[in-house]
């Protein structure tokens, strides 16, 4: 599943609609600062994964500090689509929210 940043295809829309949060003080192990969420969607024409991956961008840093996957369909959809109906952890990973890669870079 190759994911492509939404802003590469629709920069004007992405600029207008990208959401961010500002932490005024350190929270959840993150330093105070501004964090934006850049959407990435699967661009494989044969794929129907119905997922988005948010790249979490910290102001002042070039690379995302984390990637959060989110599938908006019910668990049953992912069990059928991925053929992992006997592995609830994998279904939960597809359904999300889930860290893609499993780490947050903080530093």
In DSSP notation, 6-71 reads: HHHH-HHHHHHH-EEEEESS-BTTB-SEEEEEEEEEE--TT----EEEEEEEETT-SS-SEEEEEE
CA-angle at 30, arms to 70 and 36, nearest 5°: 50
pTM: 0.80
**pLDDT digits over 60-79, tens only?**
998 899 999 999 999 889 88
User: Which tokens belong to 92?
Assistant: 């939960």
Residue with tokens 């994964």: 49
User: Which tokens belong to 44?
Assistant: 């494989």
Domain segments of the chain: what residues? 3-99
Per-residue pLDDT of the chain (107 residues; tens, 9 = 90+): 588 999 999 999 999 999 999 999 999 888 999 999 999 999 999 889 999 999 999 999 988 999 999 999 998 898 888 876 678 888 888 887 888 865 444 44
């Amino acid at each position: 599943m190759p994911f492509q940043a939404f802003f590469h295809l629709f920069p004007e829309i992405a600029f207008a609609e990208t959401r961010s949060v500002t932490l005024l003080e350190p929270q959840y192990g993150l330093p105070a600062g501004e964090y934006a969420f850049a959407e990435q969607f699967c661009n494989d024409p044969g794929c129907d994964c119905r997922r988005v991956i948010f790249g979490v961008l910290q102001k002042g840093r070039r690379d995302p500090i984390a990637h959060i996957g989110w599938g908006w369909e019910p668990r049953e959809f992912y069990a059928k689509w991925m053929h992992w109906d006997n592995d609830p952890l994998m279904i939960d990973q597809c359904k999300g929210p889930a860290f893609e890669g499993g780490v947050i870079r903080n530093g």
